[in-house]
Amino acid sequence: MTAFLGNILGGLLKFVYDMVSNIGTEPQNFSFYAMAIIITTVIFKIILLPVNLHQSKSSKKMNEIQPKMKEIQNKYKNDPQTMQAKMAELYKEHNYNPAAGCLPLLIQFPIILAFFKVMGNPTIYAFKDPAVYQAMNKTFFWIQNLEVPDPYLWGLPLLAAATTYLQSLTMVQPSTDPQAQATQRMMNIFLPVMIFMAAKGFAAGLALYWVIGNIFSIIQQVVTNKSLRKIKEEN
């Protein structure tokens, strides 16, 4: 599966690179290769936009019915079968699918793995001629080669962590459950730290993909939150 997606992603990366490399003179510190990674990331985010919008609506609906879920859990805590039936009725009444929130992760995880493959083996999945690939400029401002990790921790690794944290804040919906709030706060800290540690060893091109993807998601989520809030106020 990841090899199949790697070929698709690599082919798109090569196509975008060919397009941008024909626009004129390549900037010294902002290579066509870096441009191609950024544009390819945005394209994939646009493709996944309907799925992510569905997730946002599902998360908002889940938080709206959470008090009723808690009430059912407390009322039927000694009767699991009745609790399950009542929860199913609640989901049906509000047209809510508990598995909907996992769908974007299930879709995006293979794409991330595929990008790992492309960045680790670009001459297999994207640029078929090794000599041509080695001769390419791969700079991105302070990074001389996007094939290797960013030499500065304050660069892409820190940006990857910071944008991951900001993205988690935009996705959080208010919860009345103290335990859920505590879990969310822990995840908001743990995940950025994990991403920072991992990005130190990533090829900088992969870290760049992560940062651009997060920025796109933050903008998309802010716009979505405003739209959903406006719809709720009108109703």
For the ranges 62-76, 94-108, 134-148, 213-227, the one whose mean pLDDT is highest = 134-148
**CA dihedral (228, 229, 231, 232) positive or negative:** positive
> Rounded to an integer, what distance in angstroms lies between the CA atom of residue 119 and that of residue 7?
12
Give me the pLDDT at residue 161, please: 96
- Give CA torsion, residues 52, 54, 60, 66, to 10 deg: -120
pLDDT of residue 204 exceeding 80, the answer is yes
User: Whole-prediction pTM value?
Assistant: 0.84
For the ranges 39-53, 106-120, 140-154, the one whose mean pLDDT is highest = 140-154
Give me the pLDDT at residue 159, please: 97
Would you state the structure tokens that stand for residue 103, as one six-digit string?
A: 């769908």
DSSP 71-108: HHHHHTTT-HHHHHHHHHHHHHHTT--GGGGGHHHHHH
Cβ contact 166:214 at 8 Å: yes
Give me the pLDDT at residue 233, please: 60
Give me the pLDDT at residue 73, please: 83
Among 42-51, 145-154, 181-190, 216-225, where is mean pLDDT lowest? 181-190
Per-residue pLDDT band at 195 (split at 50, 70, 90): very high
pLDDT of residue 198 exceeding 70, the answer is yes
Per-residue pLDDT band at 106 (split at 50, 70, 90): confident
- In the predicted model, what is the mean pLDDT of the chain? 85
Helix or strand run (H / E) with residue 152 = none
> Rounded to an integer, what distance in angstroms lies between the CA atom of residue 27 and that of residue 21?
11
Cβ contact 133:145 at 8 Å: no
